């Protein structure tokens, strides 16, 4: 009956912390909740099946390490990994407490969350003390409810409901018989569900009263916002560097944390995802990006692929918000139209420009439905960089170690395409860099933006990853430039059932573009957790790349655009690239499941043979110096038969004696030793190490008799 009670507490523990994790993971900018959910369930199982501290601790440490590495992967292992992570956590805390970073470090918060779950589970399931876990979960969500714009009411209701459940179950007595205990359990479950339902009903029914309160709060909030209070708090909280996400024309100084901004920007009416480019930058200054001062306006057709008229085309409507003045466009385009005006193309920024259009009106883009030829890209080599010189320039101020890294990553006889993919993979996965909007550091005075990211911070967002790839590609002799705009956005369907992508300021993004002769500027994606729809092998297993991309070299203004190759020339992705990426993606996809299955199998095996492992653990503990050997023996027997709080040692071991009457002399000798140690003068204490080994033998004999009587 006690095991059943602890089983219900374990289930309640998972239900209590699950809503906390669904809130914590996206706010911490992790990709999915799966890893930490496995950790939560694993913690419940370990604590349920292995309650003794010397078995619980090593398994729990293993769970913490697996979960930590899942969210913060590293190429290191063993003590090298452990020492590196300790130093990283220490450095993150030092930056936070010294004011170098205004955002609480993600690696530290992950460790704290994992330890909170572990300790809360142990207190609840083993020691029947649920208050600490309930309060921790509630306070965490309540703080987020107050200080963020998100509505966590559903999470709070679930925490309250599960909190009432585990609180009630922890109070159920297991000595009153299974029928009364089951009745108490049903009452606790019913009351928890009923009170939770009443809370939901009150919230749904008292809408006018809630709206009145919310309106009053919004009025106060609006007044404070108009007075600049929140901007002031954000500014000083970030050391004067926090900015809101969105498209910004000034890229001369990159770096520093940003806060998400979900204000809508535009809607793209198409059922396929696209990256939406607004402009490019060609001059890297060491701290940001600029363009040459000379700007030219050209006919819009210059910037697009020239169509033969034989390809299938797709028309996309872009519906912008009234406060969004830019003109995002995408790759594979052959034209753009806007009512009441005509587009022009800005060189070298590659922006679309239009004059004398009243208001923010929708416009349309025409795309050719031609796929990209990865094999063709793989056969390209840079033999002539005439007209591309500005896309190979790297400032002399960039430290030598960045050059060395670029040379190392692109060394060997590989093709230009393979070198580009090597840079992309290093930044997105192999290099161990971490994506975070909040923890991107402000660039120190005199530092180079790329060097600081690659060798000092290792944490950043799209600007860090894309700039690093452009600079290292140029170092390898590959023409590259920096593009910015928006990622695909969120798929949606309007009231008429028409598919579209909703793009907000939170989708603002930057990425590198690489120039391939006879193909044009091709986008790549080095930022972790992002996929460039046009060239992401992982998300386009059967995709082929169009042989002509969106725009030609801006410097070659006297040349006519080249005609795209027909679809018949497109071939599949090179086997070496596709198979490797697919195998890697499959391995990563099933790794958590594999770890979970192995962990569960290990826990079940340990639980099944626990009565054989417990005495082995006791023998090991007896060998430790300064170990209280009497306590070890007491813990061993209490695992088999819990001791009532009012029982004396003699009464308790009297029950043990009835289980093994043949060992009466040994048991009485152990009890006498305990009584002399606890109550007698020091000179009467007699050391008797043999008695501890004899008591372990008693435990083993009791287990053997139980095994025989069970058949």
Q: What torsion do the CA atoms of 457, 460, 463, 464 make, to the nearest 10 degrees?
A: 30
Tens of pLDDT, residues 221-236: 556 555 655 555 554 4
CB 134, CB 270: distance < 8 Å:
no
**Other CB atoms closer than 10 Å to residue 182's CB: what's the count?**
13
CB 388, CB 479: distance < 8 Å:
yes
Long-range contacts of 89-95 (CB under 8 A, 24+ apart): 92/439, 95/441
Measured CA to CA in angstroms, residue 324 lies from 247, 264, 307, 349, 353 at distances of 9, 9, 30, 18, 14
Q: pLDDT tier at 556 (50, 70, 90 boundaries)?
A: very low
What span, in angstroms and rounded, lies between the C-alpha atoms of 58 and 443?
41
The pLDDT, as a whole number, for residue 300 is: 80
The pLDDT, as a whole number, for residue 541 is: 43
Task: Please name which of 522, 706, 513, 677 lies closest in space to residue 612, comparing C-alpha atoms.
Answer: 706
Q: Catalogue all structural domains in the chain, each as residue range(s) with its CATH number.
A: 2-205 (no CATH), 247-571 (3.10.620.30), 610-709 (no CATH)
Q: Which token pair is 490?
A: 């969120």
CB 141, CB 173: distance < 8 Å:
no
Give the mean model confidence (pLDDT) for residues 250-261: 86
Task: Please name which of 144, 139, 115 lies closest in space to residue 27, comparing C-alpha atoms.
Answer: 144
The pLDDT, as a whole number, for residue 646 is: 77
Burial class (CB in 10 A: 0-12, 13-18, 19+), 597: exposed
Rg of the chain over CA atoms, in angstroms? Answer: 33
What span, in angstroms and rounded, lies between the C-alpha atoms of 223 and 226?
5
- 482 strand-pairing partners: 281, 512
The pLDDT, as a whole number, for residue 555 is: 38
The pLDDT, as a whole number, for residue 429 is: 87
Q: Give me the DSSP letters along 300-365.
A: GGGGSPPP-S-S-EEEEEEEE-TT-----B-SSEEEEEETTB-EEEEETTTEEEE-S--SS--EEE
Q: Which token pair is 650?
A: 């003699």
Q: Does the pLDDT at position 173 exceed 60?
A: yes
Q: Does the pLDDT at position 440 exceed 70?
A: yes
Tens of pLDDT, residues 98-141: 655 556 778 888 999 999 999 999 999 988 888 888 888 888 88
CB 36, CB 71: distance < 8 Å:
yes
CB 475, CB 402: distance < 8 Å:
yes
What span, in angstroms and rounded, lies between the C-alpha atoms of 112 and 104?
11
Tens of pLDDT, residues 73-100: 877 888 888 888 888 888 777 766 765 5
Give φ, ψ of 686 to 5 degrees.
-115, 120
Q: Which token pair is 143?
A: 């703080």
Whole-number percent of the chain with pLDDT over 70: 78
For the chain, the first-to-last Cα distance in angstroms comes to 21
Q: pLDDT tier at 561 (50, 70, 90 boundaries)?
A: very low
Tens of pLDDT, residues 493-552: 888 889 999 999 989 999 999 999 888 899 999 998 788 888 875 444 433 333 434 333
Q: Which token pair is 80?
A: 């090298």
What span, in angstroms and rounded, lies between the C-alpha atoms of 617 and 357?
80
Contacts of 194 (CB under 8 A, 6+ apart): none
Q: Name the average pLDDT for the chain.
A: 79
Q: Does the pLDDT at position 416 exceed 70?
A: yes
């Amino acid at each position: 009956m006690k095991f059943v009670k602890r089983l219900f507490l374990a289930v309640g523990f998972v239900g209590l912390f699950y809503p906390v994790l669904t809130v914590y993971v996206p706010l911490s900018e992790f990709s999915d909740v799966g890893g930490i959910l496995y950790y939560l369930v694993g913690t419940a199982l370990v604590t349920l099946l292995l309650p003794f501290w010397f078995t619980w601790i090593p398994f729990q440490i293993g769970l913490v390490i697996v979960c930590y590495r899942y969210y913060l992967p590293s190429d290191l292992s063993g003590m090298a990994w452990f020492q590196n992570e300790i130093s990283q956590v220490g450095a993150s805390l030092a930056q936070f407490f010294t004011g170098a970073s205004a955002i609480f470090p993600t690696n530290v918060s992950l460790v704290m969350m994992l330890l909170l779950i572990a300790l809360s589970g142990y207190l609840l399931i083993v020691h029947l003390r649920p208050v600490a876990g309930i309060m921790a979960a509630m306070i965490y969500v309540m703080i987020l409810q107050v200080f963020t714009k998100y509505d966590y009411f559903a999470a709070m209701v679930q925490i309250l409901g599960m909190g009432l459940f585990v609180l009630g179950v922890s109070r159920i007595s297991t000595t009153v018989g299974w029928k009364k205990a089951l009745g108490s359990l049903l009452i606790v479950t019913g009351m928890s569900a009923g009170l939770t339902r009443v809370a939901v009903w009150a919230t749904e029914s008292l809408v006018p009263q809630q709206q009145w309160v919310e309106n009053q709060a919004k009025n106060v909030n609006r007044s404070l916002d108009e007075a600049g209070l929140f901007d002031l708090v954000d500014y000083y909280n970030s050391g004067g560097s926090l900015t809101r996400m969105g498209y910004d024309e000034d890229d001369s100084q990159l770096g520093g944390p940003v806060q998400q901004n979900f204000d809508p920007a535009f809607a793209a009416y198409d059922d396929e995802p696209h990256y939406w480019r607004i402009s490019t930058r060609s001059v890297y200054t060491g701290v940001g990006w600029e363009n040459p001062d000379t700007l030219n306006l050209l006919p819009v057709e210059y910037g697009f692929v020239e169509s033969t008229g034989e390809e299938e085309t797709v028309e996309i409507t872009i519906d912008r918000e009234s406060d969004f003045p830019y003109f995002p466009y995408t790759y594979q385009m052959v034209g753009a139209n806007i009512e009441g005006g005509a587009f022009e193309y800005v060189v070298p920024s590659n922006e679309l420009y239009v004059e004398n259009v009243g208001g923010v009106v929708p416009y349309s883009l025409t795309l050719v439905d031609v796929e990209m030829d990865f094999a063709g890209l793989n056969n390209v080599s840079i033999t002539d960089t005439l007209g591309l010189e500005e896309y190979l320039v790297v400032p002399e101020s960039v430290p030598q170690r960045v050059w060395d890294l670029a040379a190392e990553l692109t060394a060997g006889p590989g093709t230009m395409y393979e070198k580009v993919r090597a840079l992309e993979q290093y930044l997105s996965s192999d290099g161990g860099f971490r994506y975070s909007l909040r923890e991107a550091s402000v660039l120190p005075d005199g530092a180079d933006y790329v060097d600081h990211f690659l060798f000092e911070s290792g944490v950043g967002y799209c600007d860090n990853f894309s700039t690093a790839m452009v600079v290292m590609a140029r170092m390898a002799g590959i023409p590259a430039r920096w593009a910015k705009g928006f990622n695909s956005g969120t798929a949606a369907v309007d009231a008429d059932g028409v598919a579209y992508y909703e793009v907000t300021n939170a989708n603002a993004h930057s990425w590198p573009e690489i120039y391939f002769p006879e193909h044009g500027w091709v986008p790549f994606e080095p930022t972790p957790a992002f996929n460039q729809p046009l060239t992401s092998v992982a998300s386009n297993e059967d995709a082929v790349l169009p042989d002509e991309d969106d725009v030609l070299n801006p410097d070659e203004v006297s040349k006519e655009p080249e005609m795209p190759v027909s679809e018949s020339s497109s071939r599949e992705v090179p086997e070496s690239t596709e198979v490797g990426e697919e195998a890697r993606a499959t391995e990563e996809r099933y790794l958590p499941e594999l770890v979970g299955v192995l962990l569960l199998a290990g826990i079940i095996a340990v639980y099944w043979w626990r009565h054989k492992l417990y005495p082995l653990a006791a023998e090991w503990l007896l060998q430790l110096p300064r170990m209280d050997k009497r306590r070890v023996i007491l813990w061993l027997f209490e695992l088999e038969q819990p001791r009532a709080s009012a029982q004396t040692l003699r009464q308790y071991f009297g029950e043990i004696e009835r289980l093994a009457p043949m060992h009466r002399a040994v048991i009485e000798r152990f009890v006498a030793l305990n009584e002399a140690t606890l109550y007698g003068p020091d000179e009467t204490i007699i050391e008797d190490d043999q008695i501890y080994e004899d008591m372990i033998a008693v435990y083993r004999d009791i287990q053997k008799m139980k095994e025989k009587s069970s058949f």
